Structure 1
């Protein structure tokens, strides 16, 4: 088995997810067909009912419209079940209003295919994948279990990838790309 990384096709998947707190509409299947032809960001956390994870999930949710403005689907995932996700959303004030699905990889098959399954506990690392409309992984970031990620950096990299141009270190949306600089120098 090869590990999913930059330049590789994102693995095929179909998983249950929590999409709502409304009775009878809590669950939905989410899969490869749902992200086909779209920019997508899938971020993983180790465990529900923990401490660092809800800070990240809440921050992604606060930035939901920033992803939406970039025509990018936002998906969260862990190896916990959809029932644990639902209970956590009901229990944690910062998670009740989530606008993106919480995918349940209970078989751990997707986390394993992505190469982000922690060895001893078999939980997912804090991993983030940016996937282009062709289903190719364009960026991967993996943090250790104890360190939260930076959502602003995910957006910065997404912006750079969506320009389809050469972007220098620390480039931010609206700044001149290297491709634009070179074109100006030639003109």
Structure 2
């Protein structure tokens, strides 16, 4: 599904994305659920834990939002919008490409960043990762490397089996032009 969405995105874009990142929010936060691939070489570059928003659920993310202030994660297709250093350190801005599902990501400051609550010790103590304000947070030890890799031209596919998103996504199925 993620590779089909990437192919759809690349047909619409001026330049093909070479890095594909996939988050599978249907998996528990206590398991790796972020994978980053180099599409050209077909190599897996990262397999990592990733946090979800505190109002999305406990170990399992079950609620998603596009609303500012929701403290929930968003699903769908994102493109990278550049790295910067801010409140959470070195981070990667995400631009949501799916109206109604994640197109408020920039306004919500949904970014990939490192966070101390993403580590095996937290999982052992709590049975799950700590949670973010909606950002896909990763281990601080790999954050810079992962962000630098994704900053080379990346596409993020944040999956959850939400029937509404699966039926309305502009990047799934037959890759129709954007719907109004």
TM-score of the pair, normalised by structure 2: 0.31
Task: Kindly name which structure, 1 or 2, has the bigger radius of gyration based on alpha carbons.
Answer: 1
User: Greater helix percent: which structure?
Assistant: 1
The structure in which a higher percent of residues are strand is 2
